[in-house]
Amino acid sequence: MNWDDLRFALSVAEAGSIAGAARDLGVNRTTVLRRINAFEKSINVRLFERIDSEYTLTPEAEQLLQAARAISGTIDELERKIVGRELKLEGLVRVTTTDSMLLSVVAAPLASFNKLHPHISLELVITNSVLNLMRRDADVAIRPSLSPPELLIGRCVGDLVFGIYGASAYLDRYQSGDIAAHRWLAVDDSMSGSPPGRWVTANVPVQAVAMRADSFVALQVAAEQGLGLAILPCCLADASADLHRLACGKEDIVTGLWVLTHEDLRGSARVRAFTDHMTRALAAQREILEGTASRGADSKYQRLN
């Protein structure tokens, strides 16, 4: 049995569709469909029930895919350990971070790293979803977190502080110190467990939420257009000439910013060089991360309570 066939089948099972598997595998949909059909024919077992565009496992396929997951985990572990023993400062480092962190504090350190290590290529995965470093979806993660997952190692480079922001176009129309009297731009369910998500759940009535998004960059753009108030990373929103930070009597909204990798990759020279560089460079921006570098709350506008 060809492992590549199992890999295609496993990807379809996890994605739930041919299109999703094609994205994950980096191939076109026709290739995935052809490989699945040929695999089913070769083993004389129907692997998936097809309902519209959704693919669900048949009972006969469950045991096969369970074995495939075990094989995949073993291969991922082996790859991590091999990469972890590489001693040359060259090759590829796959990095994941969020759009807000890239725009505010990560881009400049990436550029300075590239100058220091021109033989190390960087591949960026910008997502607000947490990628799986166990499966080597990325080698290094630069992410806000209160507590990183087990088996990941790294450092917290500082507190990441959030503030409440609004544009003049909005604040001049809605002058109230009552949180419930304002229109709010909030994170969606995918980020509800984050400190800003929990703050909104605890303090803002559901009917006061005018819009939700899965990106702080999107929320900032909406706030700049005067759609409402948004909780944003200070390192991102303080740079906007259109936004004002509001004082609030509620508790601070804070998390940590981490540079993380898998423990199996700690011996990789290129991964270690990258994590060391980013840790130093981001720690040097501590005041920007904490929102104390440029400005505090704008006293022109009423305090929220």
The model's pLDDT over 140-180, given as tens digits with 9 standing for 90+, comes to 999 998 888 777 888 999 999 999 999 999 999 998 899 99
Which of 232, 235, 218 shows the shortest CA–CA distance to 103? Answer: 235
Lowest mean pLDDT among 64-73, 199-208, 240-249: 64-73
* Residues 282, 174 contacting (CB under 8 angstroms): no
127 CB-near residues (< 8 Å, 6+ apart): 96, 98
Residue range 193-207: average pLDDT? Answer: 94
pLDDT band at 82 (very low <50, low <70, confident <90, very high): low
Question: Which domains are assigned to the chain?
Answer: 3-84 (1.10.10.10), 88-305 (3.40.190.290)
123 versus 5: which is more confidently predicted?
Answer: 123
Query: How many Å apart are CA 158 and CA 156, to the nearest integer?
Result: 6
Question: How far is CA 70 from each of CA 36, 76, 108, 134, 138, rounded to the nearest angstrom?
Answer: 20, 10, 40, 13, 20
Query: How many Å apart are CA 61 and CA 84, to the nearest integer?
Result: 34
Residues 90-139: pLDDT tens digits?
889 999 999 999 999 999 999 999 999 999 999 998 887 665 554 557 88
* Residues 190, 129 contacting (CB under 8 angstroms): yes
| Average pLDDT score, the chain | 86
